[in-house]
């Protein structure tokens, strides 16, 4: 059975790098490889707007492959952050999510000035093979977000790349 990626809400921006102390996630971790990082938490700040995001992700394997992508959205400015016109695309190389590689709208939500919010995406899919660990080998998950605005101005599209850490292999 294939399930879709359930967008609770996801936001993004520019100016990025690895960050310390990952968000609390359960399961095995994804490493973020965007901009030559190899870290468990990725910090992103828009160059033109006072909006900051931290991304992290994890996965579990039981009968299905379950992925959780979480992040904190910090609005450090005087205007609101809105993703009422935002779309997210989750593109997985090996996991057949229902809306894989398609943009889907996000739930309309606003982050007030000087406020922050933790937001999570959860996806569940049956692996393509009888051994679900084969889905981990060579997997790459790219999350692309577009249409987020701050004070009525649209932020630049952003993509974050995740690679699962395989606990069966030594780093």
Task: Name the pTM for this structure.
Answer: 0.82
Q: Looking at domain 2-164, which CATH architecture does it have? A: Sandwich (2.60)
Q: According to the model, what pLDDT value does residue 12 have? A: 31
- In the block, tokens 């939500």 appear at 109
What gap in Å lies between CA 43 and CA 65, rounded to an integer? 26
Q: Print pLDDT tens along the chain (171 aa).
A: 333 444 433 333 334 566 654 455 668 999 999 988 899 999 888 889 999 888 899 999 888 889 999 878 899 999 999 989 999 899 999 888 889 999 998 878 899 999 998 878 899 998 777 777 777 888 999 999 899 999 999 988 888 999 998 777 755
Say what the alpha-carbon torsion angle 84, 141, 76, 80 is, to the nearest 10 degrees: 0
Helix extents (H) in the chain? 133-136
Domain spans of the chain, in order of start: 2-164
> Any residues with CB less than 8 A from the CB of 55 and at least 6 apart, and which?
32, 41, 42, 43, 44, 69, 70, 71, 143, 160
Dihedrals phi, psi of 120, to nearest 5 degrees: -135, 140
Q: According to the model, what pLDDT value does residue 138 have? A: 86
């Amino acid at each position: 059975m294939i399930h879709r990626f359930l967008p609770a809400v996801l936001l993004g921006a520019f100016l990025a790098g690895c960050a310390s102390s990952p968000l609390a996630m359960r399961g095995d971790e994804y490493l973020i490889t965007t901009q030559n990082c190899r870290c468990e938490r990725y910090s992103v700040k828009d160059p033109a707007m006072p909006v900051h995001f931290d991304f992290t992700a994890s996965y579990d394997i039981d009968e299905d492959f379950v992925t959780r992508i979480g992040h904190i959205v910090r609005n450090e400015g005087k205007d609101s952050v809105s993703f009422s016109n935002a779309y997210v695309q989750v593109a997985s190389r090996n996991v057949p999510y229902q809306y894989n590689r398609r943009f889907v709208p996000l739930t309309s939500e606003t982050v007030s000035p000087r406020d922050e919010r933790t937001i999570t995406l959860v996806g569940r899919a049956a692996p393509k093979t009888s051994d679900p660990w084969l889905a981990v080998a060579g997997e790459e998950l790219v999350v692309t977000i577009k249409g987020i605005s701050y004070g009525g101005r649209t932020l630049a599209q952003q993509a974050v790349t995740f690679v699962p850490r395989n606990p069966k292999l030594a780093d």
